Amino acid sequence: MSTTRSNAERERLQHSAKEHLWMHFTRHAPLAHQDVPIIARGEGPYIFDIDGRRFLDALSGLFVVQVGHGREELAEVAARQTKALAYFPLWGYAHPTAIELAERVAEHAPGDLNRVFFTTGGGEAVEAGWKLAKQYFKLTGKPTKHKVISRSISYHGTTHGALSITGVPSMRVPFEPLVPTTVKVPNTNIFCAEIHKDDPEVFGRWAADRIAETIEFEGPETVAAVFLEPVQNSGGCFAPPPGYFQRVREICDEYDVLLVSDEVICAFGRLGYMFGAQRYGYQPDIITCAKGITSGYSPLGAMIASDRLMEPFLTGTNAFSHGYTFGGHPVSTAVALANLDIMERESLNANVLRNEVALRATLERLLDLDIVGGVRGDGYFFALELVKDKATNQPFTAEESERLVRGFLGTQLLEAGIYCRPDNRGDTVVQFAPPMICGPTHFDEMESIVRDVLKRAEAFIL
């Protein structure tokens, strides 16, 4: 199916996009002098623009399209559900696809995480998790437990609550003052660690113990929850050191603090498991998730809570005073069920585990470039760390990083035929999260395209 438009139609879309469409996280000033990339179609791991050009989608849209683009099966499920029941809220009522999906998600979730609260996206799921933690402790006689601990450079969403938990200063400043009861601790970026860099287990223990130290400093009677991603996205795919999450679980148990596993990216196969907590062997009290639950074919998120957290709401007049108009939408939950069917039928988690070593090894071939300082991540979720001086691992200055990421990589990678994510919230990196259907031939294509661009980037910046 062609996506090519006539010159007149192309110009109309460009003009309309610049005049009316307010794009997310986008600097609009440069668009006065360049075209807006307009993606019109997807097929498998590829996307196509309105000029018919093909790009390898090495980011799954935005860590979302697990099963690949163009799955007619998911479109057909959405159409059937629309005919049966296009919309109804979960406010005191239920509908079949929400019930079935809640049961299925609970079956996959670790331990006693059996209670599924649907949202329409990840930030909403994080918001719901914090609100549940606060209300739970109020209902159980500990009303002063309301603070949240999260990690530096972490990203958890854009609502005022989720943004308060987010640890990226540049994202927070424009909207301050935010919710004042959030505290940041060190992340697990061992690549830039100043201590214990040569011993990941000791480093992990050190990083986890900073959480205990912070709880003591803030007062255990004030801390409600710790929000952590299994692999931290912002900053560039920080995987947990050995023993890190086990120590965090011990700390949370000791101080009666809820451990929230923010898996908006990591759940539903990104790490080769339904949930990242299962990969790293820890038991959260809450999981927040979204993205891959529908592979992006319809908006949906969820907060998954333990039976213990539901218990106070099962008596008297108590209710969780929270909800969303489109949370658990009938069409979205139907699509999610079909998406999980595809993942299971095609053994996509197993495909990730079978090929993650090949993906890492293919990206590590780029280590022969002076600009590439390291490769980090797990599953189908990796980052290349870009450095100014490889011998000393010296990072780029803020100005150099800005010029490299915004002034070169952002456009040149797409022009070369690949959609991935150059980023500088923290370290300067290029991130990759291909659809779970991908294999070694796609990895080779990624490496070949990125190699050429990074060679030119060296000449541009070094």
Residue that is written with structure tokens 């959260």 in the block:
284
Residue 99 has what pLDDT?
98
Q: Which amino acid is at 416?
A: A
From the list 64, 15, 13, the residue with the least C-alpha distance to 42 is: 64
Residue 47 has what pLDDT?
98
Who contacts 316 (Cβ-Cβ below 8 Å, separation ≥6)?
none
Q: Which tens digit of pLDDT belongs to each residue from 40-73?
A: 999 999 999 999 999 999 999 999 999 999 999 9
d(CA 226, CA 66): 28
In a domain, 10, yes or no: no
Residue 328 has what pLDDT?
98
Contact between 32 and 25 under an 8 Å Cβ cutoff? The reply is: no
Residue 1 has what pLDDT?
64
198, pLDDT greater than 90 = no
In a domain, 20, yes or no: no
DSSP 321: -
From the list 54, 405, 26, 39, the residue with the least C-alpha distance to 18 is: 26
Token digits for 257?
């603090």
Q: Cis peptide before 177, with omega less than 30 degrees from 0?
A: yes
In a domain, 25, yes or no: no
In a domain, 1, yes or no: no
Residue 103 has what pLDDT?
98
Contact between 286 and 306 under an 8 Å Cβ cutoff? The reply is: yes
Q: Are residues 77 and 50 in the same domain?
A: no
Q: What is the pTM of this model?
A: 0.96
Least confident of 233-242, 364-373, 386-395: 386-395
Residue 197 has what pLDDT?
81
Angle (nearest 5°) at CA 400 between 397 and 404 = 135
335, pLDDT greater than 90 = yes
Residue 6 has what pLDDT?
87
The alpha carbon of residue 335 and the mean position of all alpha carbons in its chain are separated, in whole angstroms, by 20
d(CA 236, CA 215): 26
Share of the chain above pLDDT 70, in %: 99
Q: Are residues 164 and 276 in the same domain?
A: yes
d(CA 280, CA 273): 10
Average pLDDT taken over every residue of the chain: 96
143, pLDDT greater than 70 = yes
Q: Are residues 65 and 96 in the same domain?
A: no
d(CA 384, CA 236): 8
From the list 325, 312, 339, 317, the residue with the least C-alpha distance to 437 is: 339
d(CA 190, CA 449): 28
Least confident of 81-85, 177-181, 182-186, 275-279: 177-181
DSSP 313: G
35, pLDDT greater than 70 = yes
In a domain, 315, yes or no: yes
Domain endpoint, select from 296, 315, 346: 346
Residue 22 has what pLDDT?
96
Q: Which tens digit of pLDDT belongs to each residue from 89-132?
A: 999 999 999 999 999 999 999 999 999 999 999 999 999 999 99
Q: Are residues 251 and 378 in the same domain?
A: no
| Total domain count, the chain | 2
Q: Which tens digit of pLDDT belongs to each residue from 392-445?
A: 889 999 999 999 999 999 999 999 999 999 999 989 999 999 999 999 999 999
227, pLDDT greater than 80 = yes
Please name the helix (run of DSSP H) or strand (run of DSSP E) that holds residue 149, with its range, or none.
strand 147-151
Average pLDDT over residues 328-333: 98
Who contacts 141 (Cβ-Cβ below 8 Å, separation ≥6)?
none
Q: Are residues 325 and 264 in the same domain?
A: yes
Question: Count of CB atoms within 10 A of residue 155's CB?
Answer: 25
Domain endpoint, select from 346, 369, 402: 346
Domain endpoint, select from 346, 376, 391: 346
Q: Are residues 353 and 430 in the same domain?
A: yes
Q: Are residues 223 and 329 in the same domain?
A: yes
378, pLDDT greater than 70 = yes
CATH code of the domain in which 265 resides: 3.40.640.10
5, pLDDT greater than 80 = no
In a domain, 91, yes or no: yes
Q: Which residue range is the domain that position 442 belongs to? A: 37-70+347-461
CATH code of the domain in which 449 resides: 3.90.1150.10
d(CA 43, CA 1): 10
Q: Are residues 342 and 435 in the same domain?
A: no
In a domain, 13, yes or no: no
